Amino acid sequence: MFIWPFFLAAGFALLDWASTWKGWKKRLYIAKPATLVFLILWTLLLTRWQGDILWYGIALVFSLTGDILLMLNPRFFLYGLGAFLLTHVFYLVAFNQTPAEVNVGVMLIAVLVGIVAARVLRVLRPGILKVPKGRRMLIATTIYAGVLALMVLSALLTFFRPDWPLPAAILVSLGALLFFISDSTLTYDRFVRKLTHGQSLVHFTYHLGQFLIITGALIHFSG
């Protein structure tokens, strides 16, 4: 399963993390999109995107688009946000091909995810409102946070889906949680308070999250 595009993706991810830590902007502009390019190629060579794995492939394409937009001028931030919103929409579709049976465990997880997402948004809200067109940005961020929370919930509910083996459910759940941490850290660093090596944390959790989600999905479909 782990063929050459996976190792190239991992190598460029390592270069990306080093670039954010050291401030190597030129290398960052190459490493960040290259990581997603080879992740996309990895899934294509293994699956040809046949069947439900297609939704994960489309999510990766929108992630690549978002990566590129967020590296451009800050005025493209909302466009990048839109691209990643679509990423989470397609991950939502991918995780919900087989709906989870509603029970007490599912409801408890849904409530917990909702509480965490609401608390994070509450912390971010004052900083977002301070920027130009803050209310517009807050609306966009709130919509994004809602879809992101649903994506995380859908990943966690793979534990309750009989067609998902436990290793795959663990990987996609950890990946979705890391994606949530990455997006929350990015927004906090941008609008609330600059964090020391904040971008390094954002990129590390983002890439690791993507690797875990895709690896879990491939394990699921290979079974």
**Residue 77 pLDDT level (bands cut at 50, 70, 90):** confident
Show me where the domains of the chain are located: 4-222
With 80 as the cut, is the pLDDT of residue 223 above it? no
In Å, how far are 46, 128, 197 from 172, measured between CA atoms? 18, 30, 26
Report the alpha-carbon distance of residue 200 to residue 182 in Å, rounded.
10
| Mean pLDDT, rounded, of the chain | 95
Report the alpha-carbon distance of residue 117 to residue 185 in Å, rounded.
13
**Residue 203 pLDDT level (bands cut at 50, 70, 90):** very high
Mean pLDDT to the nearest integer, 151-165: 95
Task: Decide: 123 and 185 in contact? Cβ < 8 Å.
Answer: no
pLDDT of residue 175: 98
Express as a percent the part of the chain with pLDDT over 90: 87
Residues 38-50 pLDDT 10s: 999 999 999 999 9
Residues 84-94 pLDDT 10s: 999 999 999 99
In Å, how far are 23, 137, 207 from 58, measured between CA atoms? 30, 26, 16
pLDDT of residue 73: 80
List, in sequence order, the alpha helices (H) in 72-197: 77-95, 104-129, 134-156, 166-191
Residues 175-202 pLDDT 10s: 999 999 999 999 999 999 999 999 999 9
pLDDT of residue 80: 93
Higher local confidence (pLDDT), 204 or 99: 204
pTM: 0.96
Query: Which tokens is 217 given?
Result: 């999905």
Mean pLDDT to the nearest integer, 40-65: 96
Locus of tokens 């966690």? 156
Residues 107-153 pLDDT 10s: 999 999 999 999 999 999 999 999 888 899 999 999 999 999 999 99
DSSP per-residue codes, 27-74: HHHHHHHHHHHHHHHHHHHHHTT-TTHHHHHHHHHHHHHHHHHHHS-G
Measure the CA dihedral 151/134/196/114, to 10°.
-30
pLDDT of residue 99: 78
pLDDT of residue 72: 87
Which region, left, alpha or beta, applies to residue 174 given φ > 0 means left and ψ of -120 to 50 means alpha? Answer: alpha
pLDDT of residue 47: 95
Task: Decide: 216 and 165 in contact? Cβ < 8 Å.
Answer: no
Amino acid at 140: A
Report the alpha-carbon distance of residue 180 to residue 186 in Å, rounded.
10
In Å, how far are 16, 26, 110, 111, 167 from 159, measured between CA atoms? 32, 41, 13, 16, 10
With 80 as the cut, is the pLDDT of residue 56 above it? yes
Higher local confidence (pLDDT), 17 or 222: 17
pLDDT of residue 78: 87
